[in-house]
Amino acid sequence: MQEAFRIMLVEDDQTIRESYAYLIEQYADFNIVGAFSNAEDAIKNVQSLDPHIILLDIELPGISGIQAIPELLNNCPDTYIIMLTVFEQAQNIFKALENGASGYLTKDTDPEKIVEALHDVLHGGGPMSANVARLVVSSFQKNPNSPLTKRETQILKEVANGKTRGQIANELFIDIETVKTHIKNIYQKLDVRSRADAIALAKKEKYI
pLDDT per residue as tens digits for the range 20-43: 999 999 999 999 999 999 999 999
End-to-end, the C-alpha distance of the chain in Å comes to: 53
Mean pLDDT of 52-70: 96
Look at residues 68, 15, 63, 148 and name the one whose alpha carbon lies nearest to residue 54: 68
Global pTM reads 0.67
Could you name the CATH architecture of 150-204? Orthogonal Bundle (1.10)
> Could you say which of 3.40.50.10490, 3.40.50.300, 3.40.50.2300, 3.60.10.10 is the CATH number of the domain covering 5-140?
3.40.50.2300
Cβ atoms of 131 and 106 within 8 Å: the answer is yes
Work out the pLDDT band at 11, boundaries 50, 70, 90: very high
User: Which residues of the chain form CATH 3.40.50.2300?
Assistant: 5-140
Question: Which own/partner contact pairs does 118-121 have at CB distance under 8 Å and 24+ positions apart?
Answer: 118/5, 118/7, 118/24, 118/30, 118/53, 118/82, 121/53, 121/80, 121/82
User: Which residues of the chain form CATH 1.10.10.10?
Assistant: 150-204
